[in-house]
């Protein structure tokens, strides 16, 4: 999955290998779009792209929901120069779009806010079916050196109706890694 933090090849050594970014975003009614979360992610991405320690890093953005991916793609297209996109092999995809690929730095937008999107929509993204679990495994294992997770709901809110779920488990693990 990720390299040992001591063996990082790109990035700022003072930046944790795993960073959770809580955003006070809200999903737009009737959609999967969380504009404040997308804005926070794109602003952070631009900051990383301009940081000298990331000059050779490849970047990916994984959005859990299709409409959020489209929103982030539009923002990146409007705000990140094509030359930078190419130099850093920057892609904005959903988990299925990252099959067989990885990047030095991955930024995630989970979109879900606990209010504007139903728990059923979140549960569908982590159902106990082979394809869904495989897709999540792809999403969780793509960064080589560093990951930044943007989320608008609390970690525990990412559980399914029965309080379980791969996304919640992954976020809890990431929060534990971050605290070490």
pLDDT at 108: 94
pLDDT at 114: 83
Q: Percentage of the chain surpassing pLDDT 70? A: 89
pLDDT digits (tens, 9 = 90+) for 141-155: 888 889 999 999 999
What rounded mean pLDDT belongs to the chain?
Answer: 87
Q: What value does the mean pLDDT take over residues 60-72?
A: 94
pLDDT over 90 (residue 54)? yes
Q: What value does the mean pLDDT take over residues 64-80?
A: 96
pLDDT at 85: 97
Got the DSSP string for 123-154?
HHTT-SSHHHHHHHHHHHT-EEEEEEEEESS-
Are 51 and 16 spatial neighbours (Cβ–Cβ below 8 Å)? Answer: no
Residue 109 main-chain phi, psi, to 5 deg: -120, 115
Q: Where are the alpha helices (DSSP H) in the chain?
A: 35-50, 66-79, 82-87, 119-124, 130-140, 166-179
Kindly report the pTM of this predicted structure: 0.90
pLDDT top residue among 10 and 51: 51
Which residues partner with 103 through β-bridges? 143
pLDDT at 135: 72
pLDDT digits (tens, 9 = 90+) for 92-140: 998 877 777 889 999 999 999 888 777 777 777 766 776 667 677 777 8
Residue 174 main-chain phi, psi, to 5 deg: -60, -40
pLDDT digits (tens, 9 = 90+) for 73-82: 999 999 999 9
Pairing of strands 143-151, 103-109: parallel
| Angle at 114 (CA atoms; ends 173, 22), nearest 5 degrees | 50
């Amino acid at each position: 999955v990720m390299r040992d933090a001591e063996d990082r090849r790109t990035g700022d050594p003072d930046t944790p290998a795993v960073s959770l970014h809580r955003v006070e975003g809200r999903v737009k009614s009737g959609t999967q779009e969380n504009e404040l979360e997308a804005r926070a992610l794109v602003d952070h991405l631009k900051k990383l792209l301009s940081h000298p320690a990331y000059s050779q890093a490849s970047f990916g953005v994984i959005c859990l929901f299709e409409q959020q991916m489209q929103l982030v793609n539009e923002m990146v297209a409007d705000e990140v120069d094509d030359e930078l996109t190419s130099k850093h092999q920057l892609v904005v995809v959903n988990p299925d779009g990252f099959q067989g690929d990885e990047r030095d730095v991955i930024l995630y937008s989970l979109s879900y806010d606990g209010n504007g999107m139903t728990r059923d929509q979140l549960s569908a993204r982590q159902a106990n079916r082979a394809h869904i679990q495989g897709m999540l495994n792809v999403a969780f294992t793509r960064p080589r050196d560093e990951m930044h997770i943007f989320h608008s709901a609390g970690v525990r809110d990412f559980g399914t109706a029965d309080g379980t779920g791969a996304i919640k488990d992954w976020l809890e693990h990431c929060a534990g890694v971050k605290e070490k």
